[in-house]
Amino acid sequence: MRLATDGVDPHMSRRKKPAHISPIVDKIQKLESKEHEDTITEKEAYKLDDLRTQRRQQQLEALPKLTCCDAGRTCEAFMYHIDVYESGPSNQITEGRWRIATYESLGRERRMADDQWHKKVPPEPKFCPYCAAPIPKLEKAKDPPKDISVVTDGGYYCDTCQERLNACMCLPPEAVFKPVSG
């Protein structure tokens, strides 16, 4: 059986070496490689699930959150959002916007019902729905994490880890910003 890579010069690949991979993602990728080769043990499979859960938690914790009250910090009514398809390098990310958090299924339904959905920008929230405090201003972190997802090809691959976006385990571009305490 011939593989698609037989006879192809590895130096001709379009994929570059990843710019930065966090240690937990490196462990996940090594275990996933074993999983794909069907050589993973049961103990390693449990470890892989735990690592994936930990990384997802790290991604969620990296997102800016409301800082005004306990409910605002824990019940994510609003999310800070950067258009991932135009994120660019973390030193070039200049702004995003607060938006109302919605479930993906609701977003899909909205897109199916309205062919002009992409032209409509919902109003930006101004106050916390729990305590009525103003939404915090955000500023770029002085030392942002190195494993921020960067997309420069229109939304296909992450430039940081070189994975397709649906498999990217980098931190979201929003992690570049931190709330300004005021």
List pLDDT tens digits, range 47-90: 999 999 999 999 988 888 888 889 888 877 777 777 655 555 55
What's the rounded mean pLDDT across residues 112-117? 69
Q: What is the average pLDDT across 154-168?
A: 83
pLDDT confidence band for 45 (50 / 70 / 90): very high
**What separation in angstroms does the CA of 20 have from each of 26, 109, 161?**
10, 36, 6
Which residues lie below 8 Å from residue 131, measured CB to CB, with a gap of 6+? 68, 69, 71, 72
Structure tokens at 176: 């570049």
Q: Is 18's pLDDT higher than 80? A: no
Q: What percent of the chain has pLDDT over 70?
A: 70
User: How far is 103 from 181, CA to CA, in rounded Å?
Assistant: 28
Global confidence as pTM: 0.71
Q: Residues 119-130: pLDDT tens digits?
A: 666 778 888 888
Mean per-residue pLDDT over the chain, rounded:
77
In the chain, where are the structural domains located? 19-62, 65-182
Q: Is residue 177 very low, low, confident or very high in pLDDT (cuts 50, 70, 90)?
A: confident
Is the pLDDT confidence value at 15 over 60? Answer: no
**How far is 120 from 25, CA to CA, in rounded Å?**
36
